[in-house]
Structure 1
Amino acid sequence: FITSPLYKGISILQEVVIRRLFTGLLVFSLCVLTWGAFADEVLPKPTKLVVSTWGFNLDLIRKNIAEPFKEKYGIEIVYDLGNNAARLARLVANKDNPVVDVVHFTRAYAYRAIQEGLLQPYNPNNIPSLAEIYEWARDPLGGHYAVGYAVQHLALAYRPDKITPPVTSWKDFWRDDVAGYITLPDMNTTYGPSILIMCARAWGGSEEDLEPGWEKLAELMPRLTTIYRRSSEAITLFQQEEVWLAPIPSFAWGRLTAAAEATGFPVEQVIPAEGLVGELSVVAVVKGTPNAYWAEKYIDFILSHEVQTAEALDLVDSPVNMYVELPPEIGAKLTYGEEIIDALIFFDQAFIAQHLDEWIARWNEIRTQ
């Protein structure tokens, strides 16, 4: 190299510098190659990955996720099933020796899991599909502890044959013509706290000033048909014509429209003037798993365009991948489309968790007045 005509006349010092530079580059290259081999050695591929999730639509989830994941990586997905509370309790019980690799939760339970020290931050470099999802889904709880992989919303459903003029706002719950034909979710449910915040926003308050919401909810309580804990209860009330107006989560919209068609009554979904309450199903790596890398590969896989499209077409979940395109008849049944996505509002889960016990107590107090 030094004998090249380009380097004739250089000083001995310059020659030494050049030789050291190339020696350094050679060592660096060898280190990179060695680290690659070492990484493969310390990240062995497990035969299975234990995924904690709900039991809904499991056949479709196996078809869209478990089977193609095994085909791609040679790793079997084994499911740990149950509701949020039961699965969180199992994570706590096995905290010192985790048996689950990756967990699906609502934001509220994921936040509790973080507080319990049950989750570990994910490595964004191992999840390239993050670049394809909406920004609000990439790190919804902060600290890179969880990723939103499915989005839902809380819309207002009403009977247009019973209510005129049309419903356009949360304020319409206080109209005299709907009194006795309305219902709300209980405070101790996924969307209960959001009801309080949206009522406050509708009547001049905010997330920081909830008193207008509390005052109006106390006024509204005697006008309610009942308070529901499950969306299936609200759907039954619509079928029995006991309810004409209610907040309905998007995952239940398909069941409501099916019930409406079967029973023969019209129902419409409204984006209220105050916006749509948004919610996320999130996925996270369990702290202490020896398979963290593969848990991140699983997260990357379920965020991919192919899986997000498959899940949406089967009406399992609404996509967070920005590049998923759906037929109109499918998109209409999901949290999908520019109008709905632009209307979404996500409330601070840490703030809600901090005040929830206080809110539940006050809610129960005004219910019994």
Structure 2
Amino acid sequence: MADRRKTTDTASIDRRSFLKTGAAVVAGAAGVNLFNINHTWSQDVVWDGEPFDAGGATLSLNEWGGFWEEAMRENLINEFEKTYNCKVAYDSAFPWFPKYVANGPQNPAFNVGNWNLNEIIKLSRIGDFFMTVEEMQSNIPNAADVWDFAFGSGLGITWGFGQYAFVYRTDLVNPAPTEFKDFWNESLSGKRATYITSNGLQQVFFMTSSAMWGKDQYDMEAGFDAMRRAMPMKISDFTGNMQTLVERGEVEMGVQWEGEIFLQMDKEIPVAPLVWEMKPILTQTQTVSRYSEPVQKKLALAYVNEKLNPDFQTRMADIFYVRPSNKNAVLPERLTSKGVENTANALEGLWIPDWNWYLDNEDDIVETVNEIFAG
């Protein structure tokens, strides 16, 4: 757990509880909208980095399931529940977007979330769901030690990331690919792979293809042409399935992110990464719901603070091969042996695509690409 945490003191909490109750009574008598009062009151929550007793309150969060959930419970959540006297309700049933939409910003489905940028930005376009980065920074001590790129979304703080890359079989692809456009080599026809259009990796692959083969990421026609010329391709639904296809030799070159490739390398599978020249990144980004109740909101801030703890990030780098965002996180041998560094120079040129543009054009892109994939 981090050494610096935060809350207001008990007297302050009690005073706010009294103010909330009193305001509700007055509002009820005067016919004032209760949400407007709670809205202002909820935004007044602050946290100074010190542990506090949440009195058994439940913190609801959305985050990946399976082995990921096991690692989060073992390395963060179990101790967090003890330290803060709270219960963490963990929802791993992706997608979470419709659950947020169904509840609306004012009654958030979850208090804190961990996910990729495309879904966060998509939600921000339809409602005021999340605290801003500036609000989070002022309430999360460990945010002071995080690289600037981690705040790029404006809606959450990134704690871990990896670069997009092609995975290729070193024993089957000869000569070895050296640039992004080698994915389209004729020798790989029917032996290359990407993902279904709902997968963020395919979405970034499309935007990168548009930029590499066209004028920029906004050149949709170049992206469509690139997808057509890459066919026939195998279409995977998620990264684990891509790993299996590569291990079987059914795919000789496929869209992937570096962490999955590093894992296969350490399992002595003959693969290597080809990092894309534009250096797009896959992020693990934390959000805090703006209109959570005060205790849950403080717990959410404390939870994000733990995600930004350098020791936690080092452990996650060792388990999942994710690069840390905290400048002070020490990289494990699993990453340093692959040439990964946690330095400002290593972060130079990282690219986050324009997700607002993609979402503006998503219907056209998905419809056209699905037609291409269907043949």
Tell me the TM-score range normalised by the shorter chain: 0.7 to 0.9
Choose from 298, 302, 305 the match for 2:310: 305
Q: For residue 271 of structure 2, what is the amino acid of its counterpart?
A: V
Alpha-carbon separation, structure 1, partners of 2:270 and 2:141: 44
- Aligned twin of 1:294: 299
- Give how far 1:168 is off: 1.2
Say whether residues 1:158 and 2:162 are aligned partners: no
The two structures have a TM-score, normalised by structure 1, of: 0.77
- Aligned twin of 1:106: 116
Alpha-carbon separation, structure 1, partners of 2:145 and 2:339: 19
Q: For residue 257 of structure 2, what is the amino acid of its counterpart?
A: P
Alpha-carbon separation, structure 1, partners of 2:109 and 2:339: 33
Can you list the C-alpha shifts for 1:13-55, whole angstroms capped at 9, x where unaligned?
xxxxxxxxxxxxxxxxxxxxx9996467436852332222222
Contact 1:181 1:244 in 2 (8 A): yes
Alpha-carbon separation, structure 2, partners of 1:342 and 1:66: 33
What is the CA RMSD across the aligned residues, in angstroms?
2.9
| CA gap 1:243/1:35 in 2 versus in 1, 3 angstroms | closer
Q: For residue 74 of structure 2, what is the amino acid of its counterpart?
A: K
Say whether residues 1:198 and 2:203 are aligned partners: no
- Aligned twin of 1:266: 270
Contact 2:63 2:69 in 1 (8 A): no
Contact 1:277 1:346 in 2 (8 A): yes
Choose from 94, 97, 101 the match for 1:88: 97
Q: For residue 268 of structure 1, what is the amino acid of its counterpart?
A: A
- Aligned twin of 2:261: 253
Choose from 349, 366, 369 the match for 1:363: 369
Q: For residue 228 of structure 1, what is the amino acid of its counterpart?
A: S
Can you list the C-alpha shifts for 1:32-86, whole angstroms capped at 9, x where unaligned?
xx999646743685233222222232232122212333454x232413312332x
Choose from 316, 329, 339 the match for 2:334: 329
Alpha-carbon separation, structure 1, partners of 2:304 and 2:366: 34
Alpha-carbon separation, structure 1, partners of 2:122 and 2:261: 28
The two structures have a TM-score, normalised by structure 2, of: 0.76
Q: For residue 153 of structure 2, what is the amino acid of its counterpart?
A: L
Alpha-carbon separation, structure 2, partners of 1:153 and 1:90: 29
| CA gap 1:209/1:97 in 2 versus in 1, 3 angstroms | closer
Q: For residue 240 of structure 1, what is the amino acid of its counterpart?
A: R
SS of residue matched to 2:194: strand
| CA gap 1:256/1:314 in 2 versus in 1, 3 angstroms | closer
| CA gap 1:333/1:289 in 2 versus in 1, 3 angstroms | farther
Q: For residue 269 of structure 1, what is the amino acid of its counterpart?
A: P
- Give how far 1:118 is off: 5.7
SS of residue matched to 1:166: coil
Fraction of identical pairs, as percent: 21
Say whether residues 1:126 and 2:139 are aligned partners: yes
| CA gap 1:171/1:343 in 2 versus in 1, 3 angstroms | same
Equivalent runs, 1:1-369 vs 2, <5 Å: 38=12, 41-42=15-16, 45-46=53-54, 47-48=56-57, 49-56=59-66, 57-72=68-83, 74-85=84-95, 87-95=96-104, 96-98=106-108, 100-117=110-127, 119-122=129-132, 123=135, 124-138=137-151, 140-142=152-154, 145-222=155-232, 224=233, 226-257=234-265, 261=268, 266-272=270-276, 274-290=277-293, 291-315=296-320, 317-332=322-337, 337=342, 341-342=347-348, 344-369=350-375
Moved more, 352-361 or 36-45: 36-45
Can you list the C-alpha shifts for 1:137-178, whole angstroms capped at 9, x where unaligned?
12x322xx3111221222111122222222111211222222
- Give how far 1:110 is off: 1.4
Moved more, 231-240 or 351-360: 231-240
SS of residue matched to 1:120: coil
Larger Rg: 1
Q: For residue 109 of structure 1, what is the amino acid of its counterpart?
A: E
- Give how far 1:116 is off: 3.7
Alpha-carbon separation, structure 2, partners of 1:317 and 1:360: 29
Moved more, 354-363 or 181-190: 181-190
Alpha-carbon separation, structure 1, partners of 2:76 and 2:338: 21
Contact 1:134 1:320 in 2 (8 A): yes
Alpha-carbon separation, structure 2, partners of 1:170 and 1:136: 24
Contact 1:315 1:330 in 2 (8 A): no
Q: For residue 267 of structure 1, what is the amino acid of its counterpart?
A: V
SS of residue matched to 2:280: strand
| CA gap 1:280/1:39 in 2 versus in 1, 3 angstroms | same
How many residues align? The count is 324
| CA gap 1:288/1:329 in 2 versus in 1, 3 angstroms | closer
Q: For residue 132 of structure 1, what is the amino acid of its counterpart?
A: D
Q: For residue 275 of structure 2, what is the amino acid of its counterpart?
A: I
Moved more, 240-249 or 198-207: 198-207
Alpha-carbon separation, structure 2, partners of 1:233 and 1:342: 31
Unaligned segments of structure 2, at least 5 residues: 1-7, 17-44, 46-51
| CA gap 1:75/1:336 in 2 versus in 1, 3 angstroms | farther
SS of residue matched to 1:119: coil
- Give how far 1:204 is off: 4.0
